[in-house]
Amino acid sequence: MSETLTNSAELITRPAELAPYIQHTRIESTATREDMVGHAREAAAHGFNAAMVPASWVAVVAAELRGTGVGVASALDFPAVGVMTSAGKAAEAAEIARLGATQLDIGVQIGWLKSGMFDEFREDIAGVVRASGLPVKVMLELPLLTEQERETAVELAMEAGVSYLKNASSGQIETANPTSVRYLVDRARDGVQVKASGSIKHWEQARDLLRAGAVLLGTSAGVEIVTGTADDSTISY
């Protein structure tokens, strides 16, 4: 299943207008049920694209968001990226979809890519696409790849049927930046879009990423960004 989002970044003039592009993220292991319900309610109140939550909380968040129009996203093979078996990843993807997720971000097998195991790399992703039936976003971890590995990873991911290319899994890998976004946008085939992720902390940075061509932004600072209360320090890309 695929979806196509519209990027109207040129029309954005104030922080609140960023809300439809934000995937409101809360993934820490210490979050309680009360925390996750509150997170879902925040996502609905601000009109975010989705609430991004751990798989174990998908059912709770999906129930809270039912009828709001806000999606439920989850991540798989994360935060230790590319460590699951392909069969295990596909089975977990199917379970996450059954619990109510509407989108899925996945880690990729970087070691397989670097080993030249291209068929295995592609099938690992394709298995998730088939098993989940959801729009799948691949966390490519661009800073960990050589230029040729980047090109290969992008092509293999699209051959596997992904809906989104994503620069990185978190700010520990890369601060989301227009250069990485444009790199992916320039290579994306029709029907494939780009999500930016990694230390997105204030509205000007978010706007710049959308202007570079991203259609989704993964951040845990969504409320602060759209209310204009986020850290406005200069981001150095």
Phi then psi for residue 165, to 5 deg, are -105, 140
Question: Catalytic: which of 89, 137, 166, 201?
Answer: 166
The answer to whether the CB of 20 falls within 8 A of the CB of 47 is yes
The answer to whether residue 186 is catalytic is: no
Question: Catalytic: which of 77, 105, 124, 208?
Answer: 105
Task: Check which CATH number belongs to the domain holding 128 and give it.
Answer: 3.20.20.70
Residue 4 within a domain: no
Residue 5 within a domain: no
CA distances from 64 to 60, 118, 216 (A): 6, 40, 22
The answer to whether residue 105 is catalytic is: yes
Residue 3 within a domain: no
pLDDT digits (tens, 9 = 90+) for 83-138: 999 999 999 999 999 999 999 999 999 999 999 999 999 999 999 999 999 999 99
Global confidence as pTM: 0.92
The answer to whether residue 166 is catalytic is: yes
Residue 166 within a domain: yes
pLDDT digits (tens, 9 = 90+) for 5-44: 666 666 677 899 999 999 999 999 999 999 999 999 999 9
In the chain, the number of structural domains is: 1
Per-residue confidence at 234, pLDDT binned at 50, 70, 90?
very low
Residue 10 within a domain: no
Structural domain containing residue 192: 16-226
Question: Catalytic: which of 89, 137, 195, 201?
Answer: 195
